[in-house]
């Protein structure tokens, strides 16, 4: 890679000189941390690692990547396949562990005291064949964002089912448009054909009682009436309560519409909470969050389990420093700072009862409920084929929402494709 | 050769042989570089396409013959099933998308490029400045122009929708890149905007080779300008035009960046490059993706060969001037 090679050499020389001057025996390493960047991620990271840098004398540089997880995965896979030494730490999505396990250092031994303080299910998701591939740094579970002021203005209750949401969104949208806001929309979400659509669609399907695409035992369950009903409901939103362009939206596009005050509801991850209450936000203090609606009576709300972890590259030449940083980022101090500054959900159980977090981000203790409803994507049963399963699923959903074939037809085709992909076993 | 042999130099080599040897040494660095950056990756990809290599273990692939291309299996029930890229509807959809994109974009770019070139070929004040200015879209990196257009085409804040609404051309905001009906048009528009200047430049080079006195003679004979264009200009710039079209065609058939950045990853716009990258990197199907890349190369080669043959294009520049 070309970036900062000269700068790297110069800076390490400068650091070395400083260390020599102060007479400290510590050998300072410069390490590189790669991560997708949304919102204020880059600034926040600098503040986050400052205490660690001061304590160890090492220096860490963030290499920002595009926000799309699918794009990040492609690039990381290439770097890792090539055994690139330029990157020491990777911030990995919760679903990647089985696919990239071979390239990362086993952290079981170093984290034997830290790991038990985290949610066991998350640690389990990062363990592949007994090897702890990555340490969780924050977890993610999306929620329904709603405009308190507008629901009050139009006398609508916070929706509990998707049908109620459809009606509520339509009411508010019609009212606001009549009041002269021509660009106002009822509900924004992520409909681009990428991993995010898999997350959105899994929530619809699951909350309609349509299963979770591939069940934990490996059976393909997606072709069923409830799933088709869920997609038909969503199809009805496109062009009515959601802009047609939602089919090209990722998280940041949805947040753009929401944060400029042009939407009544939004489905998004917790990071949008802190940013939505930022000084430059048009919806500051005007919104609340709740669990995502359900399909109907007897169904439960579903939120796709997201979350990010930090993994140490096997090819890193500064493994000791990298592991130390990974431990710091996964530890209580950094997770607390992340929760307060970026409204990221901690993975350390005790932090949900932390008074400072409750004071600055009152939503986080409440998010524990959302998190308890979280459904995992089928990355565990489908192993190395997960990406293809996910791509086939999001394509089928995107086709349906774009009006190419009905939900029932596309799900039947999807089932056939997945059965073929599965072969004898996943 | 006989005359060359009579002036034998040192080591008994003829002058001609010496020259050939010198030429070889001068060319060697270039040939080695070409082998390393072009031939070797190409051959390796072809090799991968006949194996079951995965990206996690590049050297561990085993030879499986043509299975990635076409695999015929007879099930126990006696039913015969076909698998592989050659019977993969997703692949043929991508081929169709690519061909459609290439033909439409190259035709439009050639026509528009030629028109721009004819304008620029005329004498007017500030011509140099206009010539430089028109190249700007071509000079912007594709990724940057794709992002720029993505914002301009954005359904909520995009300037295109804003202008359209204000002029009364659109009744509601259109999601240009998200809607599968308009996504391909959006891609075509951006591509034409970007590469028409390149075509214009190549056409202009051709136009400036046409001797001025032919035009003067035509003018004196009172031949109308349309006839002049079709009978004089077009035949004379044909060689330059044909070469320009080949360049663009090769470029268009392997289009990737524009589509990847501008549109959602849907079947309506996926091209051969996009789908093979997806298999190579995103999915655990490195060998399958290699097979698709190899087919992409083969399709490109066939296209160019057909074009050269049908258009009688002279790439060597040796035939009668």
B53 touches chain A (CB under 8 A): no
Percent of chain B with pLDDT over 70: 94
Name B221's Cβ contacts closer than 8 Å, sequence gap at least 6: none
The yes-or-no verdict on residue B211 having pLDDT over 60 is yes
Residue B76: predicted pLDDT: 78
Mean pLDDT of chain B: 88
The C-alpha atoms of residue A281 and residue A261 are separated, in whole angstroms, by 8
CA distances from A374 to A22, A140, A291, A377 (A): 50, 9, 10, 10
Within chain B, which residue ranges are assigned CATH 1.10.3720.10?
88-311
Residue labelled with tokens 């056409």: B203
Residue B318: predicted pLDDT: 55
Residues of A in contact with B267 (CB under 8 A): 395, 399, 404
Mean pLDDT of B26-47: 94
pLDDT band with cut points at 50, 70 and 90 for residue B99? very high
Domains, chain A, with CATH or none: 5-140+306-375 (3.40.190.10), 143-304+378-422 (3.40.190.10)
Q: Closest approach of chain B CAs to the CA of A402, in angstroms?
A: 7
Q: Closest approach of chain B CAs to the CA of A74, in angstroms?
A: 5
The two tokens of residue B128 are 């140099």
Out of A78, A257, A399, name the one closest to residue B267 (CB): A399
B266 touches chain A (CB under 8 A): yes
Out of A194, A253, A402, name the one closest to residue B265 (CB): A194
pLDDT band with cut points at 50, 70 and 90 for residue B11? low
pLDDT band with cut points at 50, 70 and 90 for residue B317? low
Q: Is residue A188 within a helix (H) or strand (E), and if so which, with residue range?
A: strand A185-188
The yes-or-no verdict on residue A3 having pLDDT over 60 is no
A258 touches chain B (CB under 8 A): no
Residues of A in contact with B268 (CB under 8 A): 402
Residue B210 in contact with residue B236, Cβ under 8 Å? Answer: yes
A422 touches chain B (CB under 8 A): no
Ranking A290-294, A370-374, B44-48 by mean pLDDT, the lowest is: A370-374
**What superfamily does domain B88-311 belong to in CATH?**
MetI-like (1.10.3720.10)
Residues of A in contact with B156 (CB under 8 A): 183, 243, 245, 256-257, 262
HEC string for B7-54: CCCHHHCCHHHHHHHHHHHHHHHHHHHHHHHHHHHHHHHHHHHCECCE
Mean pLDDT of B231-243: 90
Q: Is residue B83 within a helix (H) or strand (E), and if so which, with residue range?
A: strand B80-83
The C-alpha atoms of residue A187 and residue A240 are separated, in whole angstroms, by 9
Percent of chain A with pLDDT over 70: 94
Q: Closest approach of chain B CAs to the CA of A68, in angstroms?
A: 11
Residue A26: predicted pLDDT: 53
With an 8 Å Cβ cutoff, are A388 and B284 in contact?
Answer: yes
The C-alpha atoms of residue A124 and residue A111 are separated, in whole angstroms, by 13
With an 8 Å Cβ cutoff, are A244 and B179 in contact?
Answer: yes
pLDDT band with cut points at 50, 70 and 90 for residue A15? very low
A192 touches chain B (CB under 8 A): yes
């Amino acid at each position: 890679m070309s970036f900062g090679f000269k700068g790297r050499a110069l800076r390490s020389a400068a650091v070395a000189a400083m260390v020599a001057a102060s007479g400290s025996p510590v050998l300072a390493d410069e390490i590189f941390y790669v991560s997708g960047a949304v919102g204020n991620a880059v600034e926040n990271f600098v503040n986050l690692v400052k205490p660690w840098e001061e304590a160890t004398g090492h220096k860490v540089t963030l290499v920002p990547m595009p926000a799309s997880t699918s794009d990040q995965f492609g690039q990381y896979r290439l770097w890792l396949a090539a055994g690139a030494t330029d990157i020491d730490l990777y911030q990995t999505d919760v679903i990647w562990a089985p696919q990239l396990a071979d390239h990362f250092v086993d952290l079981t031994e170093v984290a034997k005291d830290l790991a038990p303080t985290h949610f066991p299910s998350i640690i389990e998701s990062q363990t592949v064949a007994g090897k702890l591939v990555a340490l969780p740094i924050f977890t993610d579970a999306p929620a329904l964002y709603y405009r308190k002021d507008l629901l009050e203005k139009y006398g609508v209750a916070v929706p509990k089912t998707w049908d109620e949401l459809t009606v509520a969104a339509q009411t508010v949208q019609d009212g606001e448009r009549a009041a002269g806001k021509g660009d106002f929309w009822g509900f924004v979400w992520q409909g681009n054909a990428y991993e995010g659509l898999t997350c959105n669609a899994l929530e619809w399907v699951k909350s309609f009682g349509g299963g979770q695409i591939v069940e934990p035992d490996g059976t393909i369950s997606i072709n069923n009436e409830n799933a088709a009903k869920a997609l038909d409901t969503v199809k009805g939103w496109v062009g009515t309560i959601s802009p047609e362009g939602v089919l090209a939206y990722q998280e940041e596009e949805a947040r753009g519409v929401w944060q400029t005050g042009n939407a009544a509801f939004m489905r998004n991850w917790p990071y949008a909470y802190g940013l939505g209450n930022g000084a430059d936000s048009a919806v500051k203090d005007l919104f609340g969050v709740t669990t995502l609606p359900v399909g109907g009576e007897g169904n439960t709300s579903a939120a796709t389990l997201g979350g990010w972890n930090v993994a140490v590259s096997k090819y890193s030449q500064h493994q000791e420093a990298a592991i130390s940083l990974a431990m710091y980022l996964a530890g209580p101090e950094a997770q607390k700072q992340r929760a307060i500054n970026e409204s990221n959900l901690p993975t350390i159980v005790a932090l949900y009862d932390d008074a400072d977090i409750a004071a600055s981000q009152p939503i986080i203790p409440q998010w524990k409920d959302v998190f308890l409803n979280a459904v995992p994507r089928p990355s565990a049963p489908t192993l190395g084929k997960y990406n293809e399963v996910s791509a086939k699923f999001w394509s089928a959903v995107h086709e349906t929402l774009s009006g190419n074939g009905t939900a029932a037809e596309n799900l039947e085709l999807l089932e056939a494709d997945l059965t073929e992909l599965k072969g004898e076993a996943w | 050769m006989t005359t060359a042999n009579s002036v034998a130099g040192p080591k008994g080599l003829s002058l001609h042989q010496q020259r050939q040897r010198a030429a070889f040494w001068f060319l060697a660095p270039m040939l080695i570089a070409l082998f390393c950056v072009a031939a070797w990756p190409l051959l390796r990809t072809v090799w991968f396409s006949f194996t079951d290599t995965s990206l996690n273990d590049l050297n561990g692939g085993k030879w499986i013959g043509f299975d990635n291309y076409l695999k015929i299996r007879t099930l126990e029930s006696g039913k015969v099933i076909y698998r592989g890229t050659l019977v993969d509807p997703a692949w043929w959809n991508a081929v169709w998308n690519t061909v459609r994109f290439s033909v439409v974009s190259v035709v439009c770019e050639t026509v528009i490029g030629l028109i721009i070139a004819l304008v620029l070929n005329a004498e007017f004040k500030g011509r140099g400045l206009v010539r430089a200015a028109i190249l700007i879209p071509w000079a912007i990196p594709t990724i940057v122009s794709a992002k720029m257009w993505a914002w301009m085409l954005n359904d909520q804040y995009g300037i295109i929708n804003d202008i359209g609404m204000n002029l009364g051309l659109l009744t509601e905001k259109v999601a240009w890149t998200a809607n599968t009906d308009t996504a391909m048009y959006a891609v075509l528009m951006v591509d034409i905007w970007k590469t028409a200047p390149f075509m214009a430049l190549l056409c202009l080079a051709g136009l400036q080779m046409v001797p001025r006195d032919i035009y003067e003679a035509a003018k004196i004979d009172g031949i109308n300008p349309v006839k002049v264009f079709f009978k004089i200009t077009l035949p004379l710039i044909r060689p330059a035009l044909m070469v320009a079209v080949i360049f663009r065609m090769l470029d268009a058939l392997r289009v990737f960046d524009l589509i990847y950045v501008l549109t959602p990853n849907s079947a309506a716009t996926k091209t051969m490059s996009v789908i093979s990258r997806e298999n190579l990197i995103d999915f655990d199907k490195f060998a399958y993706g290699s097979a698709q890349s190899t087919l992409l190369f083969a399709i490109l080669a066939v296209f160019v060969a057909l074009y050269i043959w049908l258009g009688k294009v002279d790439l060597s520049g040796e035939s009668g001037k």
